[in-house]
């Protein structure tokens, strides 16, 4: 009866005998729900209620994103030193405390700098959560199942995004302090749930790393023979000397700048300029989350036989069209249609972007290539809100002066991916694993 569900959501993976992934998935849903209750409405509060210029709000998110990049590095180091579970639980508790602090800052009408510091602390702890959760999946799954497990974890995050903004829209219409307190309680619940239900998966051999070993330590869950080298500037240079890969990273940075407009820029525009309610704003973000949950797998399967640059070009164009539609629409229906198009761009580009990074590198250098790509990702998501904030201040409620440049950046990214398509080998540009999976299920 529920066979159709397996085509869009791998429920059989969650409800197998090994429930470790299910518990991690549920904890991620709770954590993502708590986070997304607040984030779309934080910039709305600062700009709409406190009168803070959007360029300042954008700068605040810029520094928060930089703090998040540092958090990811620190989280990875602590994961290897302390284990997965303690970092996972600790980051949720720290984020809960930061949101509780934001609620207190609203109550006492604290200076904007306090919002910046607390938002940066939230971003730091949120990104520090990613390395241990990713390592847990690598510990739990092996072989071809690992990619599916990662996809399930991503769906958990987007399911939280489908739930959180709907709650946040209702709470923001009532009381901003209540909004932050409820978000903090949800994150506290996530931390406690994972403290009691999520099991430590750190490989036993790493717990005895001081014992004499006859071979070099491997990455957790690794089945190869590549040593776990210390990352440094020399290793970083190996990836940066790959000119085509660096070109790909720069083009992707442009796209990440466009992607990041979905948070602070869109929320302020939709309520302050387009005039929709906070409840309707929550519904827009819920549409985004639900689309990723139910359409990500079908779209990946549909594009499996195409070159990955094709997906990146198509997705960038969808972003450009979707944001241009926001510039001509001032009612909820058209904004919802624009969100649909933008989210399709997200669904099309995200899997292909990571798969292409993997194809650029050898197995021995994959971590370094991913690290370099992650730096460009973080920088794009850092400068995006700053650019959006400046455009909001300069455009003076002329919508096309805001969304026209944003859409143009997306089209520029599409042109860049088209140029990249001519420079990369056709074999490198194909998702061979995805195509094989598509053939096997056909």
Structure confidence at residue 209 (pLDDT): 40
Write the DSSP assignment of 171-221 as a string of letters.
HHHH-HHHHHHHHHHHHHHHHHHHHHHPPP---HHHHTTTS--SSPPPPTT
> Two tokens at 272?
């302050």
How far apart are the C-alpha atoms of 253 and 267, rounded to whole Å? 22
- Where in 60-117 does DSSP place strands (E)? none
- In CATH, the number for domain 233-442 is 1.20.1250.20
Torsion of CA 431, 367, 26, 263, to 10 degrees: -80
91 to each of 68, 81, 116, 288, how far by Cα in Å? 12, 15, 18, 25
DSSP 8-state code for residue 111: -
Q: What is the pLDDT of residues 272-313, one digit of tens each?
A: 999 999 999 999 999 999 998 888 878 877 888 889 899 999
Residue with tokens 């920088």, as numbered in its chain: 379
The domains of the chain are located at 10-202, 233-442
Structure confidence at residue 142 (pLDDT): 65
List 430's β-bridge partners, or say none.
Answer: 307
Query: Residues 9, 14, 16, CA angle at the centre, nearest 5°?
Result: 130
Q: Where are the alpha helices (DSSP H) in 260-398?
A: 264-268, 278-302, 308-328, 332-360, 366-395
Structure confidence at residue 386 (pLDDT): 93
Q: What number of other Cβ atoms are within 10 A of residue 290's Cβ?
A: 16
> Two tokens at 325?
């539609």
Identify the segments of the chain with pLDDT beneath 70: 1-18, 142-148, 203-239, 362-368, 371, 431-442
Structure confidence at residue 335 (pLDDT): 95
User: Residues 347, 384: contact at Cβ < 8 Å?
Assistant: no
3-class DSSP assignment, residue 246: helix
3-class DSSP assignment, residue 430: strand
291-329: b (≥16 Cβ within 10 Å) or e: bbbbbbbebbbebbebbbbbbbbbbbbbbbbbbbbbbeb
121-150: b (≥16 Cβ within 10 Å) or e: bbbbbbbbbbbbbbbbbbbbbeeeeebbbb
The HSE-up count of residue 163 (CA atoms within 13 Å, CB side) is 17
> Two tokens at 30?
């709770």
| CA diameter of the chain | 67
Which residue, 291, 305, 297, 370, is CA-closest to 338?
291
* Residues 6+ away with beta carbon under 8 Å from 283: 165, 166, 169, 332, 336
* Domain 10-202 identical in fold to domain 233-442: yes
What's the CATH number of domain 10-202, 3.40.50.720, 1.25.40.10, 1.20.1250.20, 3.50.50.60?
A: 1.20.1250.20
Q: Give the total residue count for the chain.
A: 442
How far apart are the C-alpha atoms of 94 and 125, rounded to whole Å? 6
How far apart are the C-alpha atoms of 370 and 354, rounded to whole Å? 8
Structure confidence at residue 193 (pLDDT): 94
* Residues 6+ away with beta carbon under 8 Å from 43: 54, 57, 61, 263, 264, 267, 268, 385
Structure confidence at residue 132 (pLDDT): 86
Structure confidence at residue 364 (pLDDT): 60
């Amino acid at each position: 009866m529920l066979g159709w569900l397996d085509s869009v959501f791998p429920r059989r993976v969650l409800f197998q005998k090994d429930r470790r992934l299910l518990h991690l998935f549920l904890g991620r849903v709770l954590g993502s729900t708590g986070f997304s209750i607040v984030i779309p409405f934080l910039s709305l509060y600062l700009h709409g209620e406190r009168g803070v210029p959007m360029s300042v709000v954008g700068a605040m998110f810029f520094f928060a994103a930089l703090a998040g990049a540092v958090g990811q590095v620190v989280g990875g180091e602590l994961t290897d030193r302390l284990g997965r579970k303690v970092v996972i639980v600790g980051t949720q508790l720290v984020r809960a405390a930061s949101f509780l602090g934001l609620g207190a800052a609203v109550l006492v009408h604290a200076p904007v700098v306090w919002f910046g510091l607390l938002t940066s602390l939230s971003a730091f702890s949120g990104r520090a959560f990613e390395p241990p959760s990713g390592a847990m999946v690598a510990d739990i799954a092996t072989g071809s199942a690992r990619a599916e497990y990662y996809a399930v974890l991503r769906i958990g995050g987007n399911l939280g995004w489908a739930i959180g903004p709907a709650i946040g829209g209702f709470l923001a219409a009532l009381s901003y302090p209540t909004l932050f307190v409820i978000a903090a309680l949800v994150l506290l619940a996530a931390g406690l749930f994972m403290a009691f239900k999520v099991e430590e998966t750190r490989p036993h051999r790493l717990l005895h790393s001081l014992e004499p070993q006859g071979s070099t330590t491997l990455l957790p869950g690794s089945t190869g023979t590549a040593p776990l080298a210390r990352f440094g500037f020399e290793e970083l240079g190996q990836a940066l000397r790959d000119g085509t890969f660096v070109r790909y990273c720069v083009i992707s940075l442009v796209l990440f700048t466009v992607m990041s407009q979905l948070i602070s820029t869109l929320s302020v525009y939709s309520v302050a300029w387009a005039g929709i309610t906070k409840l309707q704003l929550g519904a827009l973000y819920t549409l985004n989350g639900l689309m990723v949950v139910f359409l990500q797998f079908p779209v990946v399967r549909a594009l499996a036989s195409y070159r990955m640059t094709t997906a990146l070009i198509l997705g960038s164009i969808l972003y450009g069209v979707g944001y241009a539609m926001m510039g001509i629409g001032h009612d909820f229906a058209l904004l919802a249609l624009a969100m649909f198009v933008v989210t399709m761009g997200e669904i099309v580009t995200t899997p292909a972007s990571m798969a292409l990074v993997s194809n650029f590198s050898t197995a021995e250098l994959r971590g370094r290539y991913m690290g370099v790509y992650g730096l460009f990702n973080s920088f794009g998501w850092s400068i995006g809100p700053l650019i959006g904030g400046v455009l909001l201040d300069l455009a003076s409620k002329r919508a096309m002066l805001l969304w026209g440049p944003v859409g143009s950046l997306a089209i520029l990214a599409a042109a860049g991916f088209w140029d990249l398509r001519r420079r990369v080998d056709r074999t490198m540009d194909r998702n061979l694993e995805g195509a094989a999976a598509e053939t096997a299920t056909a």
